[in-house]
Amino acid sequence: MIPKTFKIKSFGCQMNVYDGERMAELLDSRGMRAAGADEDADLVVLNTCHIREKAAEKAYSDVGRLRREDGSKPLIALAGCVAQAEGAEAQRRSSMIDVVVGPQAYHRLPELVAEAALGRRPVDTDMPAISKFDAMPPRRRASPSAFLTVQEGCDKFCTYCVVPYTRGAEIGRPSRDILTEARSLVAAGAREIVLLGQNVNAWAEDGRGLAGLIRALAAISGLERIRYTTSHPNDMDDALIAAHGEIGKLMPYLHLPVQSGSDRVLRAMNRSHGADSYLRIIDKVRAARPDIAVSGDFIVGFPGESDADFKETLNIVDAVGYASAYSFKYSPRPGTPAAMMEDQIERDVMDQRLQQLQERIAYHQAAFNRSRVGTGTQILIERAGRSPGQMIGKSPWLQSVHVETAASPGEIIDVTLVAAGPRSMTGAERARAAA
């Protein structure tokens, strides 16, 4: 029987969240309906992440949990990067998985589900030359801050990373399609658009890079804020850096992962930038936009990382003064060069380093947040807070701001940032014109 209701659960990066939204719209356009919160769905799509071992293993434990008390189960589609990496092997590992669909093939999800409803177990991990986006229904729903994937895949082949294998080669979407999608997102209520890509700043068309695309998007009326993530240091060109000082709608926030502060480790990671060249980029960005909030990603315990290497990572955290950052323990991934390297680091060493790094990052994050106290700024209201009358919005620097206000999600209001917590800010609304 063809399923009538569905539930999509996305894990991993923002691109997976975006893909999850697109799959929901696709199923919806074919007459299926999203299952309510507590309701059993006829179809469950697990949109998985393969980046670290824990994330990948979670996919299988989540599948197991879908068995119902009476022994029955919904139709199960394994999507995302675990699906791409494991293909039909996933169905050998778990007989509960009916459909396997990779991140470049999910435009075929309705057909695959229909096949599975007939008792087949289809696997589609093709990376077709024709973009899946061309087969997608237009955007009709949008949150105040909406994701828009503009670039997919990665050609960088960092030695620890599965993304080039799970997402394929770097491809940018045509600007015409991006602008059309952006306009429909704004018409559906988005005030902010976050441009997404594994290497979003590698996006280019006819010699024009991401800065040109951002400029074109900035001309859309009703779109108030633009962000982009994730960027690679090597693709941070001068035009994009300059854009931070020139385009008012481009928010003062830059996620620029460095991974390590040690040149030796960076070489072994095949990052093709050093600590100094990274710091020079940060200097240039700050010259263009002095208040910019810089964020990053770090890996501790890469094979061969010595105490001295790790100390250099702490040093670069101090040198940059991150407003926020994500840090991970190195996780060996099947098929990647680093997984075969000697000198894999002991777990307790990794644990200690991670803790030390996170403390250092938290110190700088708190300092950045304190530095904003007393600032008058605007926040985009995104959702209701815990207490009545309280709403949560985002500052230009991507801080969560709690504020007492009558404003609704999607409104941009004037606030003064009055207090800083370790992870969020408190704002006081400035006088509102009567509606």
Residues that bind ligand SAH (CB under 6 A): 51-52, 154, 160-161, 163, 198-199, 230, 232, 257, 259, 297, 299, 328, 330-331, 333
- Region near ligand F3S per CB under 6 A, out of 60-68, 162-170, 269-277, 296-304: 162-170
Tell me whether residue 232 or residue 394 sits nearer to ligand SF4 (CB atom): 232
CB 111 to ligand SF4: min, Å: 30
Task: Give residues 353-392 in contact with ligand F3S (rule: CB under 6 A).
Answer: none
Least separation in angstroms between CB 51 and ligand F3S? 4
Cβ distance to ligand SF4 smaller for residue 154 or 398:
154
- Tell me if 50 contacts ligand F3S by CB under 6 A: yes
Segment interacting with ligand SF4 (CB under 6 A) among 78-86, 95-103, 154-162, 407-415:
154-162
3-state SS, the chain, equals CCCCEEEEEECCCHHHHHHHHHHHHHHHHCCCEECCCCCCCCEEEEEECCCCHHHHHHHHHHHHCCCCCCCCCCEEEEEHHHHHHHCHHHHHHCCCCCEEECCCCHHHHHHHHHHHHCCCCCEECCCCCCCHHHHCCCCCCCCCEEEEECEECCCCCCCCCCHHHHCCCCEECCHHHHHHHHHHHHHCCCCEEEEECCCHHHCEECCEEHHHHHHHHHCCCCCCEEEEECCCHHHCCHHHHHHHHHCCCECCEEECCCECCCHHHHHHCCCCCCHHHHHHHHHHHHHHCCCCEEEEEEEECCCCCCHHHHHHHHHHHHHHCCCEEEEEECCCCCCCHHHHCCCCCCHHHHHHHHHHHHHHHHHHHHHHHHHCCCCEEEEEEEEECCCCCEEEEECCCCCEEEEECCCCCCCEEEEEEEEECCCEEEEEECCCCCC
Binding of residue 353 to ligand SF4 (CB under 6 A): no
Closer of 50 and 372 to ligand F3S (Cβ): 50
Minimum CB–partner distance for residue 199 and ligand F3S (Å): 11
Binding residues for ligand SF4, how many (CB under 6 A)? 10
Shortest spacing between CB 16 and ligand F3S, in angstroms? 4
Using CB distances below 5 to 8 A depending on partner kind, what does residue 50 bind out of ligand SF4, ligand SAH, ligand F3S, none? ligand F3S
Binder among 50, 132, 156, 289 for ligand SF4 (CB under 6 A):
156
Cα 113-114-119 angle, rounded to 5 deg: 90
Q: Least CB distance from residue 154 to ligand SF4, whole Å?
A: 3
Count of beta carbons in the 10 Å neighbourhood of residue 133: 15
Residue (237 or 404) nearer to ligand SAH, CB: 237
Query: Minimal distance in Å, beta carbon 227 to ligand SF4?
Result: 18
Q: Which residue has the tokens 């991006």?
A: 178
Among 76, 79, 81, 338, binds ligand F3S (CB under 6 A): 81
Per partner kind, with CB cut-offs from 5 to 8 A, the member of ligand SAH, ligand F3S, ligand SF4, none near residue 157 is ligand SF4
Q: Which of 428, 425, 422, 420 is nearest to 370 (CA)?
A: 420
CB 189 within 8 A of CB 144: yes
Choose the binding region for ligand F3S from 9-17, 23-31, 67-75, 178-186 (rule: CB under 6 A). 9-17
Rounded to whole angstroms, the Cα distance separating 74 from 184 reads 33
157 belongs to the binding site for ligand SF4 (CB under 6 A): yes
164 binds, among ligand F3S, ligand SAH, ligand SF4, none (CB under 5 to 8 A by kind): ligand SF4
Stretch that binds ligand F3S, among 8-16, 295-303, 376-384, 414-422 (CB under 6 A): 8-16
Under 8 Å between Cβ of 193 and 185:
yes
- Among ligand SAH, ligand F3S, ligand SF4, none, partner that 87 touches (CB below 5 to 8 angstroms by kind): none
Considering only residues 179 through 208, tell me which ones interact with ligand SF4, judged by CB under 6 A. Answer: 198-199
Of all residues in this chain, which one has the CB nearest to ligand SAH in the complex? 297
**Residue 163 makes contact with ligand F3S by CB under 6 A:** yes
Which positions touch ligand F3S (CB under 6 A)? 12-13, 15-16, 49-51, 80-81, 162-163, 166-167
Which positions touch ligand SF4 (CB under 6 A)? 154, 156-158, 161, 163-164, 198-199, 232
